[in-house]
Structure 1
Amino acid sequence: MEQTCEIAIDMKTGVIAPKGFKAAGIHCGIKRFKKDLALIVSDVPATAAGVFTQNKVQAAPVLLCKKYLQENEKFRAIIINSGNANACTGEQGYKDAVMMSVLTAEELNIKPEEVFVSSTGVIGELLPMDKISAGIKKIVHHLNNDDYKSPAEAILTTDTFIKTASVSFQIDGKEVTIGGIAKGSGMIHPNMATMLAFVTTDAAIEKNTFQTMLKEITDKTFNRIVVDGDTSTNDMVIALANGMSGIETIFADTEAYRIFYENLYEILKKLSIDIVKDGEGATKLVEINVEGALNDEQALKAAKTVALSPLVKTAIHGEDANWGRIIAAVGYSGVEFDPAKFEIIINGQPVLMQNYKVALTAKEANKLLKPDEINLLLKLNLGNGTATCWTCDFSEEYVKINGSYRT
């Protein structure tokens, strides 16, 4: 489904933008100083959808959220901690995740199975449940619908800025709003990158319709971003729809579905690109577009391979338009490929044309890599397949961060 209109994204409201949602973020002591506990609450029961990491090593909160989503119809809250992933923590870790939902439910006077749980941070350490328990008792008193920053701050780890977005639009004459926050900076790779994202909306959406839509859009956004090729244990996107806009319930194959889909896509795309911009040590955002593959699947495979290539990513960081690294990456991607038909265009300027004809001198081509945002168009000239994904450059700072990071 393609976007058909210009959509204006607001970066200053996030998950509290839709009607009937409150949120908060506080410091409870998992981290030394920074906020580390966030809570998102709907005033009324909400339909939910979720997409989770494909890593076979799945953290306790992921397992619990998948169970809750499968067994229950309505939800009220999401509790998130940062600084500790509660991953590879065995039976005790799962009990701790359950306890987070129980403690939150008690404070909100709702059922534990109405509370999603999420964690991010260091793997292999048990949660400091005494600090989290005290934090949950505290955070409910900070819930509000005018502070969009604190919950976005509380879910961060190595991120350098908050990732938040919202959009309002009309369905059947009524205003509908979608809001979202995300975190992610390292261990980012398609198939759910190492990231958390939480979406709220005051639309009413049928459960299966919502789940299918979220999965499809995630495949076009969060599953098309690359920082370093690692897939985490805690990744999830959780979305809540509480219906407080007053619109009729959205089902598939309707005009309301099309409108909502376009706007949700733009929100998730914005959050996805922010994650790549904030890639650990990144200095450049790179959009890779592949055209002319045999089909869309092959186009995406080629785009992802280039996005993952350390040689391509380091060349971009060094502002070296080494087209040989790009053509080599497409060549080993496994797609149908005729190198003599291949073309490379950087920021609208042809660099390599068919039959290996070089369009620019090395010095001229290198200048194309100076901007902070780079568009890389790769033409295979074999068919009609197209795809887009996003990546960033590799810098020395990435090694420094990952060689020393502890919360």
Structure 2
Amino acid sequence: MDDKLRTPGAVRDAERWTAHNYHPLPVVISSAEGAWLTDVDGRRYLDFLAGYSALNFGHRHPQLIAAAHAQLDRLTLTSRAFIHDQFADFCRELAELCGKDLVLPMNTGAEAVETGIKVARKWGYQVKGVPAGQANIVVAEGNFHGRTTTIVSFSTDEDARADFGPYTPGFTVVPYGDLAALTAAIDENTVAVLLEPIQGEQGVVVPPEGYLPGVRQVCTERDVLFIADEIQSGLGRTGATFACDHEGVVPDMYLLGKALGGGIVPVSAVAANADVLGVLKPGQHGSTFGGNPLACAVATEVVRLLATGEFQRRSAELGERLRAGLEGLVGKGLVEVRVRGLWAGLDIDPALMSGREACERLAARGVLAKDTHGSTIRLAPPLVITEEEIDLAMTQLAEVLAA
């Protein structure tokens, strides 16, 4: 081993001083631009994770960096005790992008989910007339909505859930993609159905055609809110602004995050109409940093990038190239692939290697990706990636599978 390499020591220090709630690849990044990362030893990597879709627009997108720099020189935080000059533009432009009346800004994806849960319950009591303390929400097996104590209470992933009880009641779990089971689970006290239009953490699982329209229909018929967690799947990732758009479905509430912060600051939001978000009154929900000036300045530029449609088109067009490359490897080490836009889940033959082993071998070849659940890998390159870069990653994946 080269004694001058900085990576081994940096990895050791991270392991020594950090709680082991993650198991990262032994790569130590020091700089990045576009779809490329550079580590502390000067080695370059092609980013095929994009911060779990937080970096949809690539690393250090010039328009987003300029907005952040300009705002840093003026104002970064006021708290919601006051109004700042970036707030209204952000909320208005995001509401218009979503086709909704109102926006409630928060910081992290989990906060957006918690906000959605609170709003749905309050709506159920004040508007639908559910008896106090009886509201329930229908969710799906294999979900990933975050890691707060309430959210892990309805997770079916034991790594995320075990030993964090007692668990929050009020959730009914049904199989993902099973409309009949979902319909049967709705009762007079159901206030919402909370779903990911595509389950990312589960391995980019796309529901059967007609499922999301069916969910929309039954929610309308039974006076239940349809909450779409588009924190990973939204904002251009799948080749449309929202994953729900692929089947013409409009939920009652969008939960957004990750890419909304442009890879610069954490930004999340709930978007819904006034008859839903209007149930909240002053003092009933909030966040010191939610909707801060720096976050709003960056997120407004994110919304403006999406408003052009350019990134949705890129994701759709380049996604077909990604699909072709991956489908060509089925039977050559891959068992199954699932692709929607520039988002893919691939199941490696478990007799060959685990997903972790595959990601380690890809990293050794200069491509960074992330495993999930055994032999499954997720791919989510930045939407600024090129055809040549996709081809490069597919060549490296093929060589890993053939090794």
Q: TM-score, normalised by structure 1?
A: 0.26
Structure having the larger proportion of residues in strand: 1
Q: TM-score, normalised by structure 2?
A: 0.26
